[in-house]
Structure 1
Amino acid sequence: MLDLIRHDDILELRLARPPVNALDAGLIRALRDTIEAAPRDGARGIILSGRTGMFSGGLDVPSLLQLDRDGMGQVWRDLFATCAALARSPIPTVAAITGHSPAGGAVLSIFCDYRIMARGEYRIGLNEVQVGLVVPEPIQRGLRRLIGNYRAERLMVAGAMLDSEQALAAGFVDELVDVDHVVPRAQLWLGKLLALPPRAMSETRRIARADLADSFADVASLDVTEFVDGWFGEESQRVLQALVAKLKAKG
């Protein structure tokens, strides 16, 4: 589900849930727990990666449709807690986007310090509207911080997916490399950052990211009722069920 790979003092968290690294309840919790534990376990930086060609396919809709309201509420709380763990991490994080990254995959990358994406026909974006879901405010805030208010609005309202070159031009990702070099490049970027005077780098980083961290200042108190209501609403259920039927027909 989640492979942990040490590169000296850098910890790589490789999503390992075939076939598309979809985020079910267990993987979301594992990510949150591992990100939070990494600094205590001696890591000085985190790389979040996937398999070649696929970073993460986003939420595991077929499995989540089996949950009741309480179960889905817990998933939303855990997802926000995972975003909070990245946003508030005391050590720098890099999203090594090794392929396609729709919806939940893109969300994870937004809250990292830096995003390196595979060059090519891979796509990234918050396409929630296309599958009948609303993009939650804390996640919208993260994308607005990254690429600017108006551009974020246009992309989210349309549920747009960008290819790698478009994502780079929009500022959604920071650089492109060949797919086989995404993780090594992430190691190199983190290594240069960690070679700086540690106190000065860490404190400057903390101040610079304070607005992002403040978005999740009290994640335990976030009210997920609106998102649960939306998930179980007629429109969302109709679109999500149609999506699952389409996936089953393909498989």
Structure 2
Amino acid sequence: MSLVEAVAHDGGIVELKLARPPVNALDPALCRDLRAALDAAVIAEARGIVLAGGPKVFSAGLDVPYLLGLGDDREALTSAWQSFFAAARAIASCPVPVVAAIAGHAPAGGCVLALCCDYRVMAAGDFRIGLNETQVGLVAPEGVQRLLRRAVGPARAERLLVMGDLVEAERALRIGLIDELVEIEQVTARAHAWLRQLLALPQDAMSQTRRIARAELVEALQPEHIQLERFIEAWSAPGTQYALRALVTRLGK
């Protein structure tokens, strides 16, 4: 059974919903299913895609307990992170527009997936989005930092990245991290509405312009800008492991 639910809508729009409750933690299975669902939608000639998460949590990011459970298995850790970045690249390089319907929190990996989308609609309220890697002793790869700089500008991205700041929804809108803020029950509908508006444009011109405009995003996620081996080294460091286990303990309470 797939961990991503696909529903076809009028006008060639396909909605893909992450379906790994309670928080859509991104383990290799979910990442593989997301990539497969994107490919299947394109093969079925979807004109646009809405990527949705769960209620109150779009995605909580990588499945930290799963990754910690891999221990010192460097091969398994590398494979798990490769699955995540492959899913991110699949969104970034998707030949049709992808809109993120963020009906809740989107930290870390959830934020990365949202940044790979063409447009981000988020729920108003006490929800947060951002890259909080430094809070657990990690350095966001250069490619991921490029995604944030592209959205909010270099100076603001620097501050957010260094602090590992998770931004509240209203501020996220002000700084350009998201594009729209609506009530939680309207998030998915508004994502569909924006996508329909985009798809009403002359398709050849829109598609070619989009491809040129997004080239830097696709480039950012190439392996040489992720340097996964260095990231895995940092992940395995004792201090990082301590911080990650402390995080899991806090979340479990």
| Alpha-carbon separation, structure 2, partners of 1:164 and 1:3 | 26
> 2:104–2:123: 8 Å Cα contact kept in structure 1?
yes
How does the TM-score come out when normalised to structure 1? 0.94
Query: TM-score scaled to structure 2, two decimals?
Result: 0.93
Pair 1:19–1:143, CA change in 2 (3 A): same
The answer to whether the Cα contact below 8 Å between 1:52 and 1:180 also exists between their aligned partners in 2 is: no
Q: Distance in 2 between matches of 1:162 and 1:224?
A: 26
What is the alpha-carbon distance in structure 2 between the residues aligned to residue 131 and residue 83 of structure 1?
21
Q: Does 1:10 align with 2:13?
A: yes
Q: Which amino acid aligns with 2:181?
A: L
Offset of 1:223 from its aligned partner?
A: 4.1
Letter of the structure 1 residue corresponding to residue 241 of structure 2: Q
Confirm or deny: 8 A CA contact 2:19 2:53 kept in the other structure: yes
Letter in 1 for 2:139: V
Give 2:159's aligned residue.
Answer: 154
Assess if the C-alpha contact under 8 Å between 2:38 and 2:90 holds in 1.
Answer: yes
Structure 2 Cα separation of the partners of residues 220 and 49 of structure 1: 29
**CA deviation after TM superposition for structure 1 residue 53, in Å:** 1.2
Aligned counterpart for 1:240 among listed residues 237, 244, 247? 244
- 1:7 partner amino acid: H
Deviations 1:92-123 (A, max 9, x none): 01010010111111110001000000011111
Q: Percent identity?
A: 52
Other structure's SS at 1:48 match: strand
**Structure-2 residue corresponding to 1:98:** 103
1:222-237 to structure 2, matched below 5 A, reads 223-237=227-241
2:76 to 71, 77, 95: 71
Q: What is the alpha-carbon distance in structure 2 between the residues aligned to residue 246 and residue 119 of structure 1?
A: 25
Secondary structure of the structure 1 residue equivalent to 2:139: coil
Quote the Cα distance in structure 1 between the aligned partners of 2:143 and 2:30: 20
Moved more, 80-89 or 170-179: 80-89
Which residue does 1:45 correspond to in 2? 48
8 Å CA contact retained: 1:23, 1:56: yes
Q: How does 1:199-214 map to 2 (within 5 A)?
A: 199-214=204-219
Residue 245 of structure 1 deviates from its aligned partner by 2.4
Take 1:115 and 1:29, find their aligned partners in 2: how far apart are those partners? 22
Question: Given that residues 141 and 227 in structure 2 are in contact (C-alpha distance below 8 angstroms), is that contact kept between their aligned partners in structure 1?
Answer: no
Cα offset, 1:153, TM superposition? 0.6
The 2-side partners of 1:173 and 1:159 are apart by 17
- Assess if the C-alpha contact under 8 Å between 2:144 and 2:226 holds in 1: no
Q: Distance in 1 between matches of 2:220 and 2:167?
A: 25
2:142–2:226 contact (8 Å) kept in structure 1: no
Deviations along 1:5-64, whole A, 9 cap, x unmatched?
211311111111111111111111211222233211221111111122111111111111
Q: How many corresponding residue pairs? A: 248
Gaps (5+ residues) in structure 2? Answer: none
Contact 1:35 1:85 in 2 (8 A): yes
1:100 is paired with a residue of what secondary structure? strand
Q: After TM superposition, give the deviation of residue 174 of structure 1 in Å.
A: 0.4
* In structure 1, C-alpha distance between the alignment counterparts of 2:29 and 2:220, rounded to whole Å: 24
Shift in Å, 1:221: 9.8
Structure-2 separation of matches of 1:240 and 1:7: 40
Q: Deviations for 1:179-235, whole angstroms, at most 9, x for unmatched residues? A: 00100001111011111111111011111111112224x549964211111111111
What code does the residue aligned with 1:247 have? L
Give, in whole Å, the separation in 2 of the partners of 1:235 and 1:33.
35
Does structure 1 residue 183 correspond to structure 2 residue 149?
A: no
Q: Is the 8 A contact 2:122 2:181 kept in 1?
A: yes
CA deviation vs aligned residue, 1:121-146 (integer Å, no higher than 9, x gap): 11111111112222111111111111
Of 126, 131, 144, 1:139 maps to 144
Query: Helix, strand or coil: the match of 1:146?
Result: helix
One-letter amino acid matched to 2:248: V
